[in-house]
Structure 1
């Protein structure tokens, strides 16, 4: 086995979406997992704005943070997972979780942002259902406790 890591093969094979965008937020890399997750082909996505997958109501907040990261070269989402809504090509909402890495120019300016993204829609729905059930059970218990007092 070769000790040389084939990065292209890794990016193509990995189950998480990998999306790279340039300093202006144009998509420069869109792997097969991103195609499966968001429904847009590589051809649909390359060169387009990240607005392709950002819900309209989230865009201003996203771009404020994106620009701050570009200006400062600092992000807290290299280690901390960010959980946000996203949009599929067919219009349905996804719940995604991702971390980012910053790619730098030789003079240490941020040139691009890499996002490694996982679809957590089903887990999010399960968590919401469990929280709802817990609230219902707590309310039932409170009612029973009040009636028995």
Structure 2
């Protein structure tokens, strides 16, 4: 049984952010969940650089990897979930987890990269508190 899917509806209905960037790193697609996570509307984001959400101190490393991926058609992360800092429109730091996939032009070269993003700021904060508490307990027992 073959079911027709409306992929536009699908990516707009997802709870995770979906961001697509072209070869130069300009944002070409931004769903509603990305707006919820980062605070930037679709019209704020489309056509902008990913620097919109990348903290200043992470940018050089990000762009080195991004341009290498676009040039080689290979990402060293495969299907791994990446966890990195990001920044909200209001300037507050975020902790995000995401996976990436490459999209190809009909000629075969990589034309875009899609990231599926989840905000893990709260979970990360809770884990940090738990680790600090465990360290306190270990110190108290020593």
SS at match of 1:113: strand
Residue-pair matches, total: 141
For the pair 1:126 / 2:129, whether they are aligned, the reply is no
Cα deviation, 1:15-57, whole Å, max 9, x if unaligned, reads 0000000000000000000011100000000000000000000
Q: Which residue of 1 aligns with 2:70?
A: 70
Q: Which residue of 2 aligns with 1:46?
A: 46
SS at match of 1:107: coil
Q: Which residue of 1 aligns with 2:15?
A: 15
Please tell me whether Structure 1 or Structure 2 has the larger radius of gyration of its CA atoms.
1
For the pair 1:112 / 2:112, whether they are aligned, the reply is yes
Cα deviation, 1:2-21, whole Å, max 9, x if unaligned, reads 81011000011000000000
Cα offset, 1:107, TM superposition: 2.0
TM-score by length of 2: 0.97
Runs of 5+ unmatched residues, structure 1: 143-149
Give me the whole-angstrom Cα distance separating, in 2, the residues matched to 1:25 and 1:16.
20
Give me the whole-angstrom Cα distance separating, in 2, the residues matched to 1:93 and 1:42.
20
SS at match of 1:91: coil
Q: Which residue of 1 aligns with 2:88?
A: 88
SS at match of 1:54: coil
Give me the whole-angstrom Cα distance separating, in 2, the residues matched to 1:58 and 1:125.
20
RMSD: 1.0
SS at match of 1:28: strand
Runs of 5+ unmatched residues, structure 2: none
Give me the whole-angstrom Cα distance separating, in 2, the residues matched to 1:29 and 1:12.
10
TM-score by length of 1: 0.92
Give me the whole-angstrom Cα distance separating, in 1, the residues matched to 2:3 and 2:108.
29
